[in-house]
Amino acid sequence: METIIAMILATTALSGGTTYAVTRRDLEGGARVAVALACALLVGGACVFVPWLPLFAFLGTVVVYLLVRRLLTAKLALAASGAVLLGGCSFTVLLMMAALETM
């Protein structure tokens, strides 16, 4: 049980910290903290249902954000990566549901 709690906390902290570091240049003040907190809660919440897979969806989202940020404005890149993260976390939960259904 402690391992699961530690995994959820580590994933939440890693996603929040990485988000804060990546968006530090593009956002100002409280927006940086709000975006990092929202991302950490989404990834951590998804990790309650699916261990580790939302972290991979998050890392893919970071790559998408860094690529799209070069093409679009920072706010549009943030909106696009938010949609990708929401879709990725939803996909991981649906994937786990399908896997458990076939067991």
| pLDDT tens, residue by residue, 40-98 | 999 999 998 888 889 999 999 999 999 999 998 888 999 999 999 999 999 998 999 99
Domain count, the chain: 1
| Closest to 32 measured CA to CA, from 93, 72, 78 | 78
pLDDT at 8: 92
Calculate the alpha carbon distances from 37 to 20, 94, 101 in Å: 9, 24, 32
Domain that holds residue 8: 2-101
Planar angle of CA 41, 60, 3, nearest 5 degrees = 50
60, HSE (Cβ side, Cα atoms, 13 Å): 15
Residues 25, 31: Cα–Cα separation, whole Å: 11
88 in Cβ contact with 61 (< 8 Å): yes
